[in-house]
Amino acid sequence: MNKLFYLLFLISFSTLTNDILSQNSIIYSKAETKKLYKQLNLDKQLKFNVFNTALSGFYKIKTIKKSTLLTIIDFSKPSTQERLFVIDLEHKNLLIQSYVAHGQNSGENKAKRFSNTEDSHQSSLGFYLTAETYTGKHGYSLRLDGIEKGINNNARLRNIVIHKASYVSKSFIKKNGRLGRSWGCPALPQEKNKEIINLIKEGSCLFIYAKDKTYLKRSKFI
């Protein structure tokens, strides 16, 4: 009986291990996360706690297809700073960093208010999976699926997508002291839009962060 129990344990453990590895082939301890953070040279651009929060939630998502890519948008930073980061976890590279706009009703230079409600014109925080591309009124665009119920799961209904915008540029900042704002979409510079979309489309993880007490309490991924 003991031998049978031990055999069943080994089979179960092996299955669990394979499931974890198939979900995400790269898993870091906190010490390894700090090492990766240093290798990416993020210390002057992205706070460690934001990176660690993104990575921790990333490992809890079971439906990521592109499991070596992680995109982080840090809305705790002002719009006048580059606050979108596309990270290659496998090769330990920061692939792209970029300006990105927030919703017009989320705030002026900094995003302070967030919503999952249609027509709120506010950004939504949390974890998303990137989906299909399409060409619409903003040109080449990328649909997003919010995976946090009550926080960002209305992204499709609200047409929250990644698209280009002329108001996301250094010249706009110089003239207005901030980026322009969207109706809730994380809008990108025109010259970087296609490159970023083609890189992260169809099943990679996007995390939008802000130091928002309500979100940090409610999220099941934090």
Sequence ranges of the domains in the chain: 30-218
Average pLDDT, the chain: 91
* Beta bridge partner(s), residue 88: 69, 93
| pLDDT at residue 17, rounded to an integer | 36
In Å, how far from its chain's centre is CA 40? Answer: 17
Q: What are phi and psi of 69, to 5 degrees?
A: -110, 140
Please say whether the beta carbons of 167 and 179 come within 8 A.
yes
- Can you spell out the DSSP letters for the chain? -HHHHHHHHHHHHHHHHHHHHHH-S----HHHHHHHHHHTT-TTTS-HHHHHHHHHHHTT-S--SSTTEEEEEETTS-TTS--EEEEETTTTEEEEEE----BTTT-SSS---B--STT---B--EEEEEEEEEEETTEEEEEEEE-STTTTTTTTTTT-EE-B-TTSSHHHHHHHSS---BSS---B-TTTHHHHHHHHTTT-EEEEE---HHHHHH-S--
Collect all residues with Cβ–Cβ distance below 8 Å to 80 and sequence separation of at least 6. Answer: 109, 173, 177, 178, 179
For helices 48-58 and 30-39, angle between their N-to-C axes, nearest 10 degrees:
120
Nearest to 140 by CA among 132, 148, 129: 132
The domain 30-218 having CATH identifier 1.20.58.1030: the answer here is: no
Question: Which residue is associated with the tokens 């982080």?
Answer: 72
Q: Whole-structure pTM over 0.95, yes or no?
A: no
| The two structure tokens encoding residue 171 | 């010249």
Distance CA 188, CA 168 (A): 6
222 residues of the chain, pLDDT tens digit each: 455 444 444 444 344 333 433 345 567 788 999 999 999 999 999 999 999 999 999 999 999 999 999 999 999 999 999 999 999 999 999 999 999 999 999 999 999 999 999 999 999 999 999 999 999 999 999 999 999 999 999 999 999 999 999 999 999 999 999 999 999 999 999 999 999 999 999 999 999 999 999 999 999 999
Tens digits of residue pLDDT in 169-222? 999 999 999 999 999 999 999 999 999 999 999 999 999 999 999 999 999 999
